[in-house]
């Protein structure tokens, strides 16, 4: 419990430090997630453009279906992989953001 003004100031300083640590982790995690999403979007656009160029050069309907099927399969697999990675980043972000607050909760008990 707070016994005097100095203790109150120390508790306030500790709480601000904890909040700043938590916000720093949140900022870095959000930047990492945004970078992953940006990379995925860029790659998806490039892959789509390449697939469309290949499709324009096809001479038979069967080859067009084959290319489209291959593109759909690789696009789906890439999406699932990236979605899993982004999900892991969100889970790690939540854990890391909460860590500094655990210290605060432990002191409150």
Of residues 87 and 107, more confidence is placed in: 87
User: Tens digit of pLDDT for each residue in 4-49?
Assistant: 777 767 777 888 888 888 888 899 999 999 999 999 999 999 999 9
Report the distance separating Cα 93 and Cα 3, nearest Å. 36
Please, are residues 96 and 29 in contact by the beta-carbon 8 Å criterion?
Answer: yes
Q: What are the residue boundaries of the structural domains of the chain, listed by start?
A: 5-108
Residue 52 DSSP code = H
The CA distance from 51 to 61, in Å, is 15
């Amino acid at each position: 419990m707070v016994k005097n003004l100095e203790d109150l100031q120390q508790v306030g300083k500790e709480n601000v430090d904890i909040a700043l640590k938590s916000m720093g982790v949140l900022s870095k995690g959000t930047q990492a997630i945004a970078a992953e999403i940006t990379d995925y979007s860029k790659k998806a656009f490039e892959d789509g453009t390449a697939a469309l160029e290949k499709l324009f050069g096809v001479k038979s309907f069967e080859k067009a279906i084959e290319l489209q099927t291959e593109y759909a399969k690789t696009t789906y697999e890439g999406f699932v992989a990236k979605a899993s990675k982004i999900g892991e980043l969100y889970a790690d972000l939540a854990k890391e953001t909460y860590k500094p607050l655990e210290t605060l909760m432990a002191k409150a008990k």
